[in-house]
């Protein structure tokens, strides 16, 4: 046995994983109304309640049946939702109220019920799906005639077309089905006794729906549906527990879908065949040149038929092709389909005798395949159609006028060549004219050109000339051959033009998609992504587009929209909110709030939801088709990745800044606390000694303590001043007050402020003669010099001198502070002006916060000057050079 046979099926495990977190659905299935489905469900609910399960009645319709009403006595009934429609109030299932109550088990009657307009969903089974998604178990009731795939079969059996239907996959997804069976004789007896309908309705039902034969057929259909579900559960059990060998490759079924109403019957029949044989099936629409020229109404019918097939469980695809039958056969071979299902409507009396139907062509050309032809004579059946022929375009005189001019030109050229070449060679000129018309204007102008060219060719160039009569046998053969060749050339040229137009449209969309990918890849910010997305979608689909996110109070906020986008109405807002909350499509042409003019697609990645992409479907001349939906999903995927990328980039930058800020803040707090605490402790200690002096300190000691207090207070003042100056610089509040100042006075003032720090160290000051006055803020520039001198004394040996040089050069005054310390590496000479750079260096550095040089650069830049670092004298130590303009023009 292979290893794969000993492990569970991955597909089944994935299916089980998708069901995780969802509630369980149990369906009480009956063959017809009155068999006791609701009664049996309520009896089972009483047993569940006795077992300790929290059971609530979401919605039960008793239809006046006393036995059913009696079963509701001890069960909790939840209030129903009130929906206003056309001045009347209707009761519907209150999904939100049930979700707030959160019982373990909810009873919901009439699974196939259609909700009134304005409710949350068009169908009750969609309300039930919301409850299941919320993790609540649901029991419900259903009659077999409400299954979508059996709709036309029920109409044949009973003569009644059921309007309320449920997609078969909803029943297939049920966790449990309980068949409520009752023999036809007993059901008819209950009907006559008035236990199903009131007497008037009962008499009408006995003559239509509740005949002995009809009930027997419905009973068989119900038994078959239950048996198929049990068989499906058995297969799932084997796959889940690796009971059987892996499933072999299975054959497939192909069903052809077009704009005709008979397609709906064909799709239902294909679904029944596929379900009975347990094989996958594909619904395909072939886009022939004729399909490209269909009206918007016919195009919308195709999309509705394809959506119906998808709802019934088919894989829906659309393929381009020039020949419908050939495309179907080729697709069947590539997809390993062994059977093709097509429709054959009633024969039409106006069919041409030489045309064949699609079914006949398939049986002739698809010999290896089984062809199933579905017929139905009901009102949905359209008249039989031959193989699709191109639809006449809207009449326009311009192409035909141009065709006449081209044919006249070909005639003029032929008149010149008539003296040199033969009759057959002249025909080539007219064929060329037909080909030009076909490529330029399409099929029907080309056919007109063929007819006109044949008449001109015959009238002007065959004997007798200037007559449509042909005497010579060879000339007659030439004219007939020319006419047939012209028809063939015109037909081929017209079809070639249609294919070129389709290819041009496809290429244009591909180029626009590539351009969008390029724009999104280069977008650095979220607003660039959302703007590029909505502009591309609006231009490609020719409608309004928006990209939204939920804001305050649950309303959707437009992040970006096309130029003429108006505020969304409440119905569109509701559809957008539902799409966001459930991460599923909603709005126009969907099963959720289809009355909304907008269709919404949620954008999400593995990290979660990002936004909602919406397009105005009502603004378009036709419904959104599968191709438009694929384009919308493709654009949404690209936008999701781009939004995720910008979000990740922002998160990484935020994390980096947060990490650096946290590290810097910790180091800064440590440094500032040390630099502030040290002078404070010294001041407090000296002040405490002076305050507690009881005469033991002499005058010298007291003066020394007072001087120490003053020195540490000045040190503390410098730290605080540096912090304040840096704050003012950061917020642009530093405005220098310019005045004419003498450089020598500025240097002398700075020297006085660092006198105590010199502590016997030598300070050499060299000021050039005839140094001009400079327009600066004396207080700020003096602070710069103090910071530079303080920095030089911290980083140079105590026995080495510190030099100050002042000179004029090229309209500037340059002040240099030079020390004999270890110097600054060239790679760090710009970094020393960063805030807290000294803090970043860690322990082992001189005390300080690293604000001094950053403040110096900010003050000097405010005066329109510069400050730079270079090597000291003879390459030893450090030179800090400040350049200030003499004119004093602050930045």
- 3-class DSSP string for 28-67: EEECCCCCCHHHHHHHHHHHHHHCCCCEEEEECCCCCCHH
**781 with 832, same domain?**
yes
**What are the φ and ψ backbone dihedral angles of 880, each rounded to 5 degrees?**
-105, 115
User: Residue 796 maps to which CATH number?
Assistant: 3.30.565.10
Pick the closest to residue 882 from 786, 761, 800 (CA basis).
786
**200 with 277, same domain?**
no
Name residue, tokens 């991955």.
10
- Would residue 54 count as lying in a domain? yes
Contacts of residue 423, defined as CB under 8 A and 6 or more positions apart, other chains included, come to: 461, 462, 475, 478
Helix, strand, coil percent content, the chain, rounded in steps of 5: 50, 15, 30
User: Residue 313 maps to which CATH number?
Assistant: 3.40.50.620
H or E stretch at 85: strand 81-85
| Residue spans of beta strands (DSSP E) within 719-796 | 739-741, 763-767, 774-776
Q: How would you classify the pairing of strands 545-550 and 556-561?
A: antiparallel
How many folded domains does the chain comprise? 5
- Would residue 721 count as lying in a domain? no
**66 with 193, same domain?**
yes
- Would residue 611 count as lying in a domain? yes
What is the domain extent for residue 338? 252-347+356-374
Q: What ranges in 121-209 are assigned the alpha helix state H?
A: 124-133, 151-158, 168-172, 184-192, 199-207
Residue 257 near residue 309, CB atoms below 8 Å: yes
Beta bridge partners of 342: 373
- Would residue 139 count as lying in a domain? yes
Is residue 558 exposed (0-12), middle (13-18) or buried (19+ Cβ within 10 Å)?
middle
| Residue spans of beta strands (DSSP E) within 86-165 | 88-92, 105-108, 137-143
Cβ neighbour number for residue 783 with a 10 Å cutoff: 22
**213 with 143, same domain?**
yes
88-95: list long-range contacts, CB under 8 Å, 24+ apart.
Answer: 90/116, 91/59, 92/59, 92/116, 92/119, 92/127, 93/58, 93/59, 93/124, 93/127, 94/58, 95/120, 95/127, 95/130, 95/131
- Would residue 646 count as lying in a domain? no
* 823-844 residue pLDDT tens: 888 888 887 877 656 534 443 3
**466 with 547, same domain?**
no
Pick the closest to residue 180 from 33, 23, 24 (CA basis).
33
- Give the whole-angstrom CA distance, residue 258 versus residue 387: 12
- Give the whole-angstrom CA distance, residue 34 versus residue 187: 7
Sign of the CA dihedral running 878, 883, 884, 889? negative
- The distance from CA 232 to its chain's CA centroid, rounded to whole angstroms, is 34
**426 with 295, same domain?**
no
**What are the φ and ψ backbone dihedral angles of 282, each rounded to 5 degrees?**
-125, 130
- Give the whole-angstrom CA distance, residue 502 versus residue 293: 10
**101 with 187, same domain?**
yes
**202 with 131, same domain?**
yes
Tokens representing 259? 């704009």
**229 with 307, same domain?**
no
Answer with the one of 470, 500, 530 that is the final residue of a domain.
500
- C-alpha torsion angle, residues 354, 356, 362, 363 (rounded to 10): -70
- Would residue 136 count as lying in a domain? yes
Sign of the CA dihedral running 493, 495, 497, 499? negative
**What are the φ and ψ backbone dihedral angles of 566, each rounded to 5 degrees?**
-100, 165
573-589 per-residue burial string, b: 16 or more CB within 10 A, e: under 16? bbbbbbbbeeeebbbbb
User: Residue 69 maps to which CATH number?
Assistant: 3.40.50.300
- Give the whole-angstrom CA distance, residue 429 versus residue 451: 15
Is residue 477 exposed (0-12), middle (13-18) or buried (19+ Cβ within 10 Å)?
exposed
- Would residue 410 count as lying in a domain? yes
All residue ranges of the chain with pLDDT < 50 are 1-5, 198, 243-249, 349-350, 352-354, 378-394, 664, 839-849, 889-891
**161 with 20, same domain?**
yes
pLDDT at 800: 85
**What are the distances in angstroms from CA 703 to CA 280, 682, 715?**
103, 15, 18
pLDDT at 352: 47
Helix axes 778-794, 743-753, angle to 10 degrees: 50
Residue 581 near residue 592, CB atoms below 8 Å: no
- Would residue 677 count as lying in a domain? no
Answer with the one of 620, 637, 654 that is the final residue of a domain.
637
**329 with 409, same domain?**
no
Helix axes 199-207, 184-192, angle to 10 degrees: 140
**840 with 818, same domain?**
yes
Residue 587 near residue 614, CB atoms below 8 Å: yes
Answer with the one of 596, 621, 637 that is the final residue of a domain.
637
pLDDT at 712: 75
Query: Is the entire prediction scored with pTM above 0.85?
Result: no
User: Residue 588 maps to which CATH number?
Assistant: 3.30.450.40
């Amino acid at each position: 046995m292979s290893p794969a046979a000993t492990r569970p099926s991955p597909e089944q495990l994935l299916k089980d994983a998708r069901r995780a977190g969802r509630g369980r659905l149990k369906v009480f299935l009956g063959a017809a109304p009155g068999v006791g489905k609701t009664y049996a469900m309520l009896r089972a609910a009483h047993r569940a309640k006795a077992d300790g399960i929290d059971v609530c009645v979401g919605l039960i319709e008793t239809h006046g049946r006393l036995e059913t009403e009696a079963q509701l006595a001890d069960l909790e009934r939840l209030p129903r939702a009130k929906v206003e429609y056309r001045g009347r109030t209707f009761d519907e299932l209150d999904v939100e109220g049930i979700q707030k109550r959160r019982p373990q088990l909810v009873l919901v009657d009439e699974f196939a019920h259609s909700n009134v307009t304005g409710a949350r969903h068009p169908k009750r089974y969609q309300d039930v799906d919301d409850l299941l998604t919320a993790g609540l178990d649901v029991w419900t009731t259903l009659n077999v005639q409400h299954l979508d795939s059996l709709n036309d079969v029920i109409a044949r059996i009973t003569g009644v077309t059921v309007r309320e239907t449920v997609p078969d996959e909803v029943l297939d997804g049920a966790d449990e089905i309980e068949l409520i069976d009752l023999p036809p004789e007993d059901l008819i007896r209950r009907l006559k006794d008035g236990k199903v309908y009131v007497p008037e309705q009962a008499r009408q039902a006995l003559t239509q729906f509740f005949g002995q034969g009809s009930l027997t057929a419905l009973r068989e259909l119900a038994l078959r549906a239950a048996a198929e579900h049990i068989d499906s559960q058995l297969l799932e059990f084997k796959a889940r527990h690796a009971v059987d060998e892996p499933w072999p490759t299975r054959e497939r079924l192909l069903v052809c879908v077009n704009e005709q109403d008979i397609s709906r019957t064909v799709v239902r029949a294909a679904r029944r065949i596929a379900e009975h044989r347990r094989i996958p099936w594909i619904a395909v629409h072939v886009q022939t040149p004729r399909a490209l020229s269909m009206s918007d109404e016919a195009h919308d019918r195709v999309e509705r038929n394809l959506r119906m097939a998808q709802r019934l469980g088919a894989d829906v695809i659309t393929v381009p092709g020039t020949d419908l039958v050939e495309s179907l056969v080729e697709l069947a071979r590539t997809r390993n389909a062994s059977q093709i299902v097509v429709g054959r409507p009633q024969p039409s009396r106006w069919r041409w005798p030489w045309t064949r139907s699609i079914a006949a062509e398939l049986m002739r050309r698809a010999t290896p395949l089984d062809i199933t032809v579905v017929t139905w004579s009901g009102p949905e059946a359209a008249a039989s159609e031959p193989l699709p022929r191109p639809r006449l375009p809207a009449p326009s005189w311009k192409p035909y006028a141009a065709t006449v001019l081209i044919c006249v030109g070909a005639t003029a050229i032929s008149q010149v060549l008539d003296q040199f070449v033969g009759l057959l060679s002249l025909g080539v000129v007219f064929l060329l004219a037909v080909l030009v018309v076909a490529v330029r204007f399409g099929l029907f102008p080309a056919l007109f050109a063929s007819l006109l060219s044949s008449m001109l060719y015959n009238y002007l160039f065959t004997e007798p000339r200037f007559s449509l009569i042909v005497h010579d046998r060879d000339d007659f053969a030439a004219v007939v051959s020319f006419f047939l060749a012209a028809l063939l050339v015109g037909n081929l040229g017209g079809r070639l033009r249609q294919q070129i137009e389709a290819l041009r449209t496809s290429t244009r969309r591909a180029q626009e998609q590539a351009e969008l990918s390029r724009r999104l890849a280069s977008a650095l910010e979220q607003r660039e992504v959302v703007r590029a997305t909505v502009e591309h979608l609006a231009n490609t689909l020719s409608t309004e587009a928006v990209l939204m996110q939920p804001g305050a109070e649950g309303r959707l906020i437009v992040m970006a929209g096309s130029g003429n986008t108006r505020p969304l109405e409440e119905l569109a807002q509701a559809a957008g909110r539902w799409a966001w909350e459930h991460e599923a499509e909603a709005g126009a042409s969907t099963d959720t709030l289809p009355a909304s003019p907008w269709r919404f697609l949620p954008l999400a990645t593995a990290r979660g939801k990002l936004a909602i992409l919406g397009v105005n479907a009502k603004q378009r001349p036709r419904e959104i088709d599968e191709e438009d939906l694929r384009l919308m999903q493709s654009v949404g995927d690209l936008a999701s990745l781009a939004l995720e990328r910008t979000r990740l980039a922002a998160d990484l930058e935020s994390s980096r800044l947060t990490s650096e800020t946290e590290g810097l803040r910790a180091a800064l707090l440590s440094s500032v606390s040390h630099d502030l605490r040290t002078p404070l402790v010294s001041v407090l200690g000296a002040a405490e000694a002076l305050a507690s002096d009881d005469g033991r300190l002499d005058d010298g000691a007291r003066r020394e303590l007072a001087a120490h207090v003053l020195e540490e207070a000045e040190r503390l003042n410098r730290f605080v001043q540096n912090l304040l100056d840096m704050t003012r610089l950061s917020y642009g509040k530093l405005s220098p007050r310019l005045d004419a100042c003498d450089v020598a006075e500025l240097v002398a003032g700075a020297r006085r402020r660092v006198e105590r720090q010199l502590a016997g160290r030598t300070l050499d000051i060299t000021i050039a003669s005839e140094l001009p006055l400079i327009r600066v803020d004396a207080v700020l520039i003096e602070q710069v010099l103090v910071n530079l001198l303080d920095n030089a004394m911290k980083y140079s040996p105590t026995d080495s001198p510190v030099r100050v040089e002042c000179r004029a050069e090229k309209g500037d005054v340059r002040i240099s502070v030079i020390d004999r310390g270890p110097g600054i590496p060239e790679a760090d000479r710009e970094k020393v002006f960063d805030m807290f750079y000294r803090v970043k260096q860690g322990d082992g550095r001189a005390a300080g916060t690293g604000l001094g040089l950053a403040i110096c650069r900010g003050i000097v830049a405010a005066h329109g000057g510069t400050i730079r670092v270079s090597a000291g004298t003879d390459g030893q130590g450090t030179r800090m050079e400040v350049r200030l303009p003499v004119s004093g023009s602050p930045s």
